[in-house]
Amino acid sequence: MKSSNNYTILAVDDAKDSLMLLDFDLVEAGYEVITADSGNEALAMLKENKVHLILLDMYMPGISGLTTLQEVKVQNDFAHIPVIMLSSSGDEEQIVAALEFGADDYVTKPYISNVLLARIRNALRFMEKTLELETLAKIDFLTSVNNRGSFQELVGKAISLAKRNDENVSLAMFDLDLFKKVNDNFGHEAGDKALIDFAKILIDTFREYDIIGRVGGEEFAILLSHCTLNEAQCAANTLRKNIKNKPFSYYGNTIYLRISAGVVCSDTQKSSFKSLLSAADKRLYIAKTTGRDKVIYESAQNPFINNKPVCT
């Protein structure tokens, strides 16, 4: 868990004396603190600041604490932020409503400082564990790139964005040629290391905002935004040549890897994750059945046309 001074807490209360006391206790405990005296101000601050936890007064004029809580929890960017409700009232119905709307805890005012701080630590610890588990669920356990499910989700969002902006995206699929022989001849541990090294090379070769995923045993795919077909094909061929000329050493054995690739460019308004991946997979199949160690590329709307390489 991070140290307390790496967390920012948003304290929301219409009573100035309550805000001053919260600010003092939280700063004393090592937290960064920002304050708001209304629900509207709190929602505005969330958009402008990275907040890790919210302390939210239940009863405020204008937008109530419950309404503010609901607004926070329905927005994807903020829904993960733990919220602890504060109130001098012990109204059971309001407490139950707050918890059902997504509050993580409830503290009665005037609060006991050590108790509030302990509940803050618990809420932050639970948030960290939840985010860690969510991350693990989206990452390939071996190579640490996106797994197929996460890759599909991210590519779907990228395609939707490209459609709104009337832009094309390119997708490349890579397969390590004759990879079974690596496992058979040098062992599965060597094969695993080869996959890990290949994933690292993909990360180093492509741009930071390109989306990389492991979509099969030795199959990887990359979604390249703002990238023409020819640019994607050039990048794939550069990778192919670099891999071909690079010796890998595993357990005293020198191994040379080869890759085949299929590259497609989207028809902006018609493409989906499924259609792009299928089109790239078809080109990859052609590459593997016509000699391997090559890149086959065409636009998705014109299959098996225009395959003369621009860069080789």
Q: Which of 246, 199, 233, 238 is nearest to 219 (CA)?
A: 199
Q: Which of 103, 142, 104 is nearest to 220 (CA)?
A: 142
State the Cα–Cα distance between residues 18 and 50, nearest whole angstrom.
23
State the Cα–Cα distance between residues 218 and 212, nearest whole angstrom.
13
Select which of 32, 48, 218, 219 is catalytic: 218
Locate 104 and state its tokens: 């993580």
Cβ(78)–Cβ(72) below 8 Å: yes
Is 218 part of the annotated catalytic residue set? yes
Q: Which of 288, 238, 239 is nearest to 262 (CA)?
A: 288
Q: Tokens 């979604």 appear where?
A: 223
Cβ(65)–Cβ(18) below 8 Å: no
Cβ(81)–Cβ(123) below 8 Å: no
State the Cα–Cα distance between residues 256 and 210, nearest whole angstrom.
26
Residues labelled catalytic: 218
